Structure 1
């Protein structure tokens, strides 16, 4: 009878599994199931899930799985309320899921890497530090709720503008890093740039200024892809074509990246989807062209993916009024300048692309990669403050800790 009783107790059976077998089982589970398992068996929590090697092994497994079966998950963040939601584009029901709010206000989402979110405080005046030049960053895991307020950055010179990026050095130091570029427009030659290391928990001032500090950034954020941070800049305010700059997080060196052929004027955006850098070009005739970088290294090559005529589709779908655009007639040519579209994810078969519209997302489009046709995608469960503007970017959940002490 006692033997039958133990067999009928799932927890007793789980606790008797060898550690290597239990670890192999947990490594193959989705992150949300692992979080649930923490409530099932204390043996798994203490000996497996909280083991330092398990997080790195599980994250590596997620990255390898994303190459063969890419995730369609994105993160949605509201700067005003600090609310966080996730959206799984691969789910049959397009519905957002509420996550734990970021526990601080007045934040700007800088980037996402391996499940961690990097935030920068919008208000530069910190009453506790009493320093108007203070730049404050934080790392947050919305699934575990762990947050780490990083040491403040005090630039040596005043800077009216800041550009920052967040990524992981998977080659040299295996370390999460933030690159911060502080400058005053339009005088980039007086700029300074700093690198934060999570392992060292400190900022480092780069004394040898590279060539890119002489260029004017076209955006306030960088994009992480293939061990490097990328951004778009101009040599001067009169440049009509962009310059793409990359910063290798391992070697901590930068270089110029050639942009695709036949690039037009107006606006350019970078994105990383499925581990590939994407270059988005919106033209004055409301055409959006998307290229993918197929080869990294010395001779980077771009492949044209899709061309979409935005104005025609938008007017046909009669969505411009719902987006709150200030026009009472068909969209004029300047619309992409104010509402640049951004690819976020692909369908599982790679034939459809999820595209957000607006610097603060006002709508989602589903685009056919082959034909270029698109339709507005209705998302269920959007919050009441959706009109306040949400920022969207690719993301997947993980157990990665935002602190070097917990890594």
Structure 2
């Protein structure tokens, strides 16, 4: 097993959620149908008859909701892996606590459903009196239904035995190697949901639109060890969140940057290339500066000064900060994507230019900064606990 694979396995646990939900359905039989004279059913190898409901499906909605909530909790900080969810070790305790709560809610809902099961079946028969016979003959006992309703979860570490065929080791390493791809895909799903539901065509949005942005940021940060390109993407989001007004509606250029960031995150390939490009442009600048300082000769100030001046004059103005990320050979998928990337690139260049001139800025020059305010206060804490959800 490679060192990288072992590092990832050491930093995650596997959370398995097992939710069994009674379907309240039975296969529809030929004798259940009343056919008109001369009519004929197609053979089974051509078409199937489907199923019949034994009670109101709304009675089971609570169980499906709890199952999806458990999955969302795991996906908030983890990513799908081996039929479960790979979750950072440091998040395991909080995930376990929330799943324990869901288990209690599921058990309470099951008790209530079992107590009212017979009444629910009777009500369904009353609502469909002409088909009472085919419903009643297919009804399951309450004891059987009880065994088909359960919720449980398991948290385990993943490892490999010492003696394992190389093919099996390679198979697991392949699964682990795809974790980052799965993570970026899940981020793109939520980003697309945010764009479609909250950002497209809006001149202003409430602070509730920041909730999915923060969720995506926290997930990327927690799983950053899966891919080295994640860290600069997280920094991009942090820079955006730091400049958003603390009160009032969000609009104007800030809203455009939020849309641009969401559009970047909605494309897994562009997100990876963006992070790769930021890393490629940051490292050489730091190395070159350190090299000049290290080799400058203090006993020859007259010679050293021109060398430093020359390096400063030739230093990049960051206009080519993202060169190489979007090669000309790759056609942009849409004009809107190019626009979104342009917003982020212009913002990165502006920040870089500002950093280069920090030493020349005097306190009075701070008046040039734009203070963004908006009318109206939002209770962000209340929004954080609202029922609105952007996951499927």
Q: What TM-score does the superposition give when structure 1 sets the normalisation length?
A: 0.23
More strand by share: 1
Compare the two structures and name the one with the higher helix fraction. 2
TM-score, normalisation: structure 2: 0.23
Higher Cα Rg: structure 1 or 2? 2
* Larger RCO: 1 or 2 (CA < 8 Å, sep 6+): 2
